[in-house]
Amino acid sequence: MKMSEGVEWALHSCVNLAWSGPDRAVSAARLAAWHDLPAAYLNKQLQALARAGILTSSPGPRGGFRLARPLGAVSLMDVVAAVEGPEEAFRCAEIRRQGPGAGAPAAEGADAADCAIAHAMSRAEVAWRRALAAQNLDEIRQQAERQAPEAPQRLRAWLAAQ
Amino acid sequence: MKMSEGVEWALHSCVNLAWSGPDRAVSAARLAAWHDLPAAYLNKQLQALARAGILTSSPGPRGGFRLARPLGAVSLMDVVAAVEGPEEAFRCAEIRRQGPGAGAPAAEGADAADCAIAHAMSRAEVAWRRALAAQNLDEIRQQAERQAPEAPQRLRAWLAAQ
């Protein structure tokens, strides 16, 4: 099981948009160039973030993407759900209702939530989602700045020179 | 992001092997037939469980799969790792080291663990893995039997009739 690389791209792009400042919209092409990413595919992730209300998108030659709300109001879960979709990783196909193992029709009133396996897998996934929801991107930005204090200014200088 | 359907198959197969009893090896074909699954693909998952030490596999016309240890000693995490592999779902590609955003060479001594994003994503995934590791398959078997008390006997009767 592998999460899309678009999640990493989207998370870095949100931090980069915080660093670029609220006064400037940044195009997908420039956000992509900053980390040498394919612009068309990054644009797809940025559009997903805009649909999720994490970014705003403006058209035109000076258009681009901005943060729609402060990074402190964006959790890892928000970004993962925007890029990967809201479905759980484990999807019960109800195989226990197939074949001779399906048992008596009387049991058919039960739904997937009653399957002990689906229930246990879902409970574990909730722990993951809670942990993703508990971390906001401003905490991540602060940690990134402690490691690379010059990064915000370097990005703004590069954008100004484009 | 989607977990392989093989995880659901493998989990149900472990419970079914507990129900079939320790004295009987059950072939992949019969385990598959019980839930109307493709036998070749289920066999691949069962072989993965055997490689992980969850099942034993014996050859020959009366051969098949048995539990290698009690269900209480098999966690959801054991089965997920056997089928999906040990890698984390989020894999940092270190895009922050690419393009103009890569910054000064001085920063290159740092490794992926230093990336604030990789670190935060990994921390959330640890919460998921801990929750998977905290649930063993015997708890799941017990819950399944409360919902379908006749299931173990039904499976044994069906196997005996094959």
Which chain A residues are Cβ-neighbours of B160 within 8 angstroms? Answer: none
Contacts of B91 in chain A (CB under 8 A): 2-3, 5
The domain total for chain B is: 1
Residue A109: predicted pLDDT: 53
Dihedral of the alpha carbons of B121, B123, B128, B134, in degrees to the nearest 10:
170
Chain B residues touching A116 at Cβ < 8 A: 140-141, 143-144, 147
**Tell me: the pLDDT tens digits for B57-114?**
999 888 999 999 999 999 999 999 999 998 888 888 888 888 888 875 545 555 545 7
**Contact across the interface for A1 and B1, Cβ inside 8 Å:** yes
- pLDDT per position as a tens digit, B30-55: 999 999 999 999 999 999 999 999 99
Contacts of A36 in chain B (CB under 8 A): 95, 98-99
Q: Say what the pTM is.
A: 0.88
- Say what the pLDDT of residue A106 is: 45
Say how many CB pairs under 8 Å bridge A and B: 186
Tokens 């193992």, residue? A101
**What pLDDT, on the 0 to 100 scale, is given for residue B109?**
53
Give the domain extent around B144. Answer: 5-161
Q: How far apart are CA A75 and CA B149, in angstroms?
A: 43
Q: Which of A1, A145, A153 to mutate to test the interface with B (most CBs of B within 10 A)?
A: A1
- Residue B87: name the closest of B133, B60, B122, B116 by CA: B122
Which of the four pLDDT bands, split at 50, 70 and 90, describes residue B1? confident
CATH number, domain with residue A27? 1.10.10.10
Distance to chain A for B69, nearest Cα, Å:
19
Quote the mean pLDDT of chain B: 91
Q: What is the pLDDT of residue B76?
A: 97
CA-based nearest distance B26→chain A, Å: 15
Dump pLDDT digits (tens) for B117-128.
999 999 999 999
Nearest to A128 by CA among B110, B120, B129: B129
Please give chain A's pLDDT, 162 residues, in tens: 888 899 999 999 999 999 999 888 999 999 999 999 999 999 999 999 999 999 999 998 889 999 999 999 999 999 999 999 988 888 888 888 888 888 755 455 555 457 889 999 999 999 999 999 999 999 999 999 998 899 999 999 999 998
Helix or strand holding residue B48 (H, E): helix B39-51
Residue B8 has a pLDDT of 93
Q: Is the distance from CB of B85 to CB of A93 less than 8 angstroms?
A: no
